[in-house]
């Protein structure tokens, strides 16, 4: 085992799991059956829409998720603890892939960037239990989802489009990773645990133990996951191994049914090999503390108060010697990011038919870095002082109103204003590489930028027998993020003023129309959601941009950021159809089309048309399923253009991947799921995955894109006791 990781919680999950198995075998029926109090946090914006039910399984979900539920307009829910096919890697982005319209920019085994409708990074607003946290890596090794241990959460929600303002500015969508909180109705405890084994030496485990009484509760969650390099369909190893673990401790007070005060602390670390670049992540250390306060049913028009504050620290190391061999010059880079944030929101019910959320949120983060040689050398990186390179601050105010018009119609609207500030602390910028590397004065050193950003939306929802339809208009402004502003150059042929794009990038403005419907009748369940979006000042990242060499004659390849005009349209549709009491079929379709109006060609990083067909069978304690994923070729591309996470590499071919799964449910507390992903051992790569040729890692095959795993067998045992 890796020394870095063994420092805390050595193999916690597996030991506790054995204990859990033993307990359940000894006392199968003796365990007290407790139902937590029925009150449940409903989504605030829909407080007046009481008919909307949260999916609350009484016990374990029987079937592998092949098509997540879309039970409210524009919302998709996922149970992060339920088994999924294909078995997702142990991080947040891999988990999201099950949602139609979601894709992944693969870099290795974990830590890919999630993409929704072709929009990645800051265009997809990701919250970890209400917190906006950002990674430390300037090379985008750690999107926020790299710090998500799916088993430590209870619910994942995707809110499509700019149709929400209460969770921060959103353009393509918002993803909420949340824990559920229920007051104990009497003293008791609850245990959730799972052990997963899969090909490539993969072992995932988690244990979540919660105990308490009416007044107080405590919870501890330990997760651990490891995998060796997986093999693609041809049998070639992909440089992708990883190891990660997390520990979460929560202490809460529930003096009454409507009040909750909670303290939480999280520590996690990981290491991961990257197949797409010259370095690996050897440290993803996270420390997080948060406090939350919630009070509901206050009386009068004030219905609820929510307040929270958090601190997050990320210490990341990437190097070229710990997880690979053959680097001529061993070197490491050690950036860190410190984030403080908070939120205050009031839910008001001015009349019987209206709910109003008023609030504000703030976030401030500091980024710094240092780099050097491995331990034992004169230039050891840990012996150096960190040098600040950027500071960001954002203060937002929001209001969202839901107005129930009669029985069947709702009008929902929101407004948001953000005051954003960024400071470029870099004194120099490095240009060129290797022997030609050269430090130049940063043209935007110590500059501060300020912007006022506004966003808003309005949406009409109409219920009909068996379903809901909606149409919405939204607008949002997004400030350039750390990855766009810091470290990218501007267009131009000088090696002075254009070396920093910091002062030049305009905020991105999205105007979008969203429409769709959900429908349920007899054996049918269906959804459709479509969008059309016009993006002014879309921030495009372009690599291989020729600029004069740092020294002497010739050119060098720079990576620049610039604003363009863009449009995108597309959507998702799907259905479930119950053929008989035992058989159920499901299908989904997702498509997005993007156009770069400034350069008059395709917008880069657009995933191709994709369809999923599933068939599920269930009888008594047994269930089984088959999943066929069909992905079309993508000929629309813009080579060397993209976003901070990925760049287009060229056309890509289509593929079909077939997978099988089965489950046996021992009783309501214990369940075993198993499956074979990519049954026919197909060799394939996703269109938007990163290049497998850039890294030249000794002992590994170089591929156009980082290939997906070949045939993979897996088994997952899960226990839920209360």
Shortest distance (Å) from residue 170 CB to Cu ion: 26
Shortest distance (Å) from residue 135 CB to Cu ion: 8
Q: Which CB atom, from 107 or from 167, has the smaller least distance to Cu ion?
A: 107
Site for Cu ion in 311-370 (CB under 5 A): 318
Q: Judge contact between 457 and 164, C-beta under 8 A.
A: yes
Asked if residue 128 binds Cu ion (CB under 5 A), the reply is no
Residues 379 and 199: their CA atoms lie apart, in Å, by: 40
Q: Judge contact between 295 and 258, C-beta under 8 A.
A: yes
Name every residue whose Cβ is closer than 8 Å to that of residue 421 and which is 6 or more positions away in sequence: 392, 393, 394, 448, 449, 450, 451
Reported as type and span, the H/E element at residue 418 is strand 409-424
Q: Which CB atom, from 130 or from 139, has the smaller least distance to Cu ion?
A: 139
- DSSP-derived pairing of the beta strands 119-120 and 601-602: unpaired
Shortest distance (Å) from residue 368 CB to Cu ion: 14
Asked if residue 141 binds Cu ion (CB under 5 A), the reply is yes
Residue nearest to Cu ion (CB): 137
Map residue 152 onto helix, strand or coil: helix
Shortest distance (Å) from residue 647 CB to Cu ion: 17
**Considering only 134-142, 394-402, 485-493, 562-570, which stretch makes contact with Cu ion by CB under 5 A?**
134-142
CA dihedral 717→271→393→398, nearest 10 degrees, is -10
Shortest distance (Å) from residue 277 CB to Cu ion: 9
Reported as type and span, the H/E element at residue 219 is strand 216-227
Q: Which CB atom, from 426 or from 612, has the smaller least distance to Cu ion?
A: 426
Q: Which CB atom, from 366 or from 547, has the smaller least distance to Cu ion?
A: 366
**Considering only 120-128, 137-145, 525-533, 642-650, which stretch makes contact with Cu ion by CB under 5 A?**
137-145
CA-atom Rg of the chain in angstroms: 25
Shortest distance (Å) from residue 332 CB to Cu ion: 10
String of contacts with Cu ion for each residue 80-99, x by CB under 5 A? --------------------
Residues 411 and 402: their CA atoms lie apart, in Å, by: 6
Asked if residue 270 binds Cu ion (CB under 5 A), the reply is no
Site for Cu ion in 227-256 (CB under 5 A): none
Q: Which CB atom, from 282 or from 347, has the smaller least distance to Cu ion?
A: 282
Shortest distance (Å) from residue 327 CB to Cu ion: 15
Q: Which CB atom, from 182 or from 319, has the smaller least distance to Cu ion?
A: 319
For residue 32, count other CB atoms closer than 10 A to its CB. 10
Q: Which CB atom, from 368 or from 573, has the smaller least distance to Cu ion?
A: 368
Shortest distance (Å) from residue 239 CB to Cu ion: 15
Q: Judge contact between 188 and 216, C-beta under 8 A.
A: no
Tell me the Ramachandran region of residue 117: left when phi exceeds 0, alpha when psi lies from -120 to 50, beta otherwise: left
Nearest to 222 by CA among 47, 11, 455, 465: 11
Shortest distance (Å) from residue 620 CB to Cu ion: 49
**Considering only 131-139, 164-172, 484-492, 714-722, which stretch makes contact with Cu ion by CB under 5 A?**
131-139
**Considering only 132-140, 354-362, 584-592, 685-693, which stretch makes contact with Cu ion by CB under 5 A?**
132-140
**Considering only 6-14, 310-318, 387-395, 398-406, which stretch makes contact with Cu ion by CB under 5 A?**
310-318
- DSSP-derived pairing of the beta strands 173-178 and 124-128: parallel
- Side by side, the strands of the sheet bearing 75-78 are 69-72, 75-78, 155-160, 173-178, 124-128
Burial call 248-274: b when 16+ CB within 10 Å, e when fewer? bebebebeeeebbbbebebbbbbbbbb
Q: Which CB atom, from 137 or from 357, has the smaller least distance to Cu ion?
A: 137
Q: Which CB atom, from 127 or from 318, has the smaller least distance to Cu ion?
A: 318
Q: Which CB atom, from 137 or from 429, has the smaller least distance to Cu ion?
A: 137
Query: In this structure, what DSSP letter does residue 393 have?
Result: E
What Å distances lie between residue 314 and 143, 368, 482, 693, CA to CA?
12, 11, 15, 29
Within a 13 Å sphere around the CA of 117, how many CA atoms are in the beta-carbon half?
28
| β-pair partners for 630 | 611, 656
Shortest distance (Å) from residue 270 CB to Cu ion: 12
Residues 203 and 307: their CA atoms lie apart, in Å, by: 38
Instruction: With CB under 5 A as the rule, give the number of residues binding Cu ion.
Output: 4
Output phi, psi for 239, to 5 deg: -70, 90
Q: Which CB atom, from 139 or from 594, has the smaller least distance to Cu ion?
A: 139
> Sign (positive/negative) of CA torsion 481, 487, 490, 496?
positive
Residues 706 and 691: their CA atoms lie apart, in Å, by: 6
Shortest distance (Å) from residue 161 CB to Cu ion: 31
Q: Which CB atom, from 76 or from 332, has the smaller least distance to Cu ion?
A: 332
Tokens at 127, concatenated: 């919250």
Q: Which CB atom, from 339 or from 659, has the smaller least distance to Cu ion?
A: 339
Shortest distance (Å) from residue 281 CB to Cu ion: 5
Q: Which CB atom, from 316 or from 718, has the smaller least distance to Cu ion?
A: 316
- DSSP-derived pairing of the beta strands 555-578 and 354-369: unpaired
String of contacts with Cu ion for each residue 419-448, x by CB under 5 A? ------------------------------
Output phi, psi for 392, to 5 deg: -130, 145
Q: Which CB atom, from 297 or from 384, has the smaller least distance to Cu ion?
A: 384
Shortest distance (Å) from residue 147 CB to Cu ion: 13
Asked if residue 137 binds Cu ion (CB under 5 A), the reply is yes
Shortest distance (Å) from residue 283 CB to Cu ion: 9
String of contacts with Cu ion for each residue 456-495, x by CB under 5 A? ----------------------------------------
What Å distances lie between residue 455 and 55, 100, 163, 322, 504, CA to CA?
30, 26, 10, 45, 22
Shortest distance (Å) from residue 137 CB to Cu ion: 3
Name every residue whose Cβ is closer than 8 Å to that of residue 140 and which is 6 or more positions away in sequence: 113, 121, 483, 644, 645
Q: Which CB atom, from 45 or from 137, has the smaller least distance to Cu ion?
A: 137
Q: Judge contact between 87 and 712, C-beta under 8 A.
A: yes
Q: Which CB atom, from 139 or from 396, has the smaller least distance to Cu ion?
A: 139
Shortest distance (Å) from residue 287 CB to Cu ion: 18
Q: Judge contact between 569 and 532, C-beta under 8 A.
A: yes
Nearest to 164 by CA among 122, 134, 125, 131: 125
Shortest distance (Å) from residue 192 CB to Cu ion: 32
Tokens at 138, concatenated: 């300037």
**Considering only 130-138, 391-399, 526-534, 611-619, which stretch makes contact with Cu ion by CB under 5 A?**
130-138
Give the interface with Cu ion as residue ranges (CB under 5 A).
137, 139, 141, 318
């Amino acid at each position: 085992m890796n020394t870095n990781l063994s420092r805390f919680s050595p193999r916690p999950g597996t030991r506790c799991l054995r204990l859990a198995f033993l307990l359940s075998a000894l006392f199968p029926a003796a365990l007290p059956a407790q139902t937590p109090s029925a009150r449940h946090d409903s989504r605030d914006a829909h407080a007046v829409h009481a008919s909307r039910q949260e999916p609350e399984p009484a016990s374990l979900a029987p079937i592998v998720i092949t098509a997540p539920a879309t039970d409210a307009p524009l919302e998709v829910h996922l149970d992060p603890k339920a088994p999924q096919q294909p078995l997702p890697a142990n991080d947040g982005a891999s988990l999201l892939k099950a949602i139609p319209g979601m894709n992944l920019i693969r870099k290795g085994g974990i830590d890919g960037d999630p993409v929704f409708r072709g929009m990645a990074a800051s265009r997809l607003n990701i919250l970890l239990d209400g917190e906006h946290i950002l990674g430390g890596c300037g090379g985008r090794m750690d999107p926020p989802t790299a710090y998500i241990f799916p088993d430590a959460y209870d619910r994942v929600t995707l809110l499509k489009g700019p149709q929400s303002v209460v969770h921060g500015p959103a353009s393509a969508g918002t993803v909420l990773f949340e824990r559920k909180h229920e007051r104990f109705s009497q003293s008791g405890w609850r245990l959730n645990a799972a052990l997963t084994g899969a090909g490539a030496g993969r072992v995932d485990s988690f244990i979540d133990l919660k105990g308490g009484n009416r007044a107080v509760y405590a919870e501890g969650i330990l997760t651990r996951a490891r995998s060796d390099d997986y093999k693609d369909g041809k049998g070639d190893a992909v440089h992708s191994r990883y190891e990660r673990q997390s520990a979460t401790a929560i202490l809460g007070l529930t003096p009454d049914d409507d009040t909750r005060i909670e303290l939480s602390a999280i520590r996690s670390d990981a290491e991961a090999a990257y197949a797409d670049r010259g370095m690996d992540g050897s440290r993803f250390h996270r420390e997080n503390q948060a406090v939350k306060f919630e009070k509901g049913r206050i009386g009068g028009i004030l219905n609820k108060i929510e307040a929270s504050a958090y601190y997050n620290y990320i210490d990341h190391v990437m190097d070229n010697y710990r997880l690979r061999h053959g680097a001529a010059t061993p070197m490491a880079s050690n950036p860190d990011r410190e984030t403080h944030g908070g939120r205050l929101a009031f839910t008001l019910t001015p009349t019987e038919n209206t709910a109003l959320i008023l609030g504000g949120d703030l976030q401030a983060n500091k980024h710094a870095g240092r780099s050097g040689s491995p331990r034992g050398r004169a230039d050891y990186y840990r012996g150096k002082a960190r040098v600040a390179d950027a500071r960001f601050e954002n203060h937002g105010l929001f209001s969202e109103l839901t107005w129930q018009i009669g029985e069947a119609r709702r009008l929902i609207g929101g407004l948001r204003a953000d005051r954003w500030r960024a400071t470029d602390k870099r004194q120099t910028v490095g240009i060129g590489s290797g022997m030609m590397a050269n430090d130049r004065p940063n043209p935007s050193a110590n500059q501060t930028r300020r912007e006022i950003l506004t966003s808003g939306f309005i949406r009409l929802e109409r219920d009909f027998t068996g379903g809901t339809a909606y149409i919405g208009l939204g607008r949002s402004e997004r400030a350039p993020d750390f990855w766009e502003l810091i470290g990218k150059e501007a267009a131009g042929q000088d090696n002075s003023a254009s070396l920093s794009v910091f002062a030049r990038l305009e905020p991105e403005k999205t105007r979008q129309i969203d429409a769709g419907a959900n429908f349920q009748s007899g054996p049918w369940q269906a959804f459709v959601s479509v969008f059309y979006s016009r993006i002014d000042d879309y921030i495009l990242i372009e690599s291989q941009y020729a600029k004069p060499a740092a020294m002497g004659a010739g050119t060098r390849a720079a990576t620049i950021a610039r604003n363009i005009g863009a449009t995108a349209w597309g959507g998702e549709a799907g259905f479930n159809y119950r053929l008989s009491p035992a058989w159920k079929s499901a299908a989904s379709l997702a498509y997005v089309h993007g156009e770069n109006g400034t350069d008059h060609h395709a917008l880069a990083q657009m995933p191709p048309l994709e369809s999923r067909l599933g068939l599920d069978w269930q009888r008594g304690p047994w269930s089984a399923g088959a999943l066929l994923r069909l992905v079309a070729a993508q000929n629309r591309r813009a080579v060397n253009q993209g976003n901070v996470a990925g760049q287009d590499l060229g056309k890509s071919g289509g593929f079909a991947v077939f997978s099988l799964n089965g489950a046996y449910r021992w009783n309501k507390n214990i369940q075993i799921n198993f499956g074979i992903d990519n049954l026919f051992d197909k060799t394939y790569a996703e269109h938007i995955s990163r290049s497998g040729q850039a890294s030249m890692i000794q002992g590994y095959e170089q591929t156009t894109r980082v290939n997906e795993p070949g045939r993979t067998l897996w088994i997952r045992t899960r226990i839920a006791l209360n």
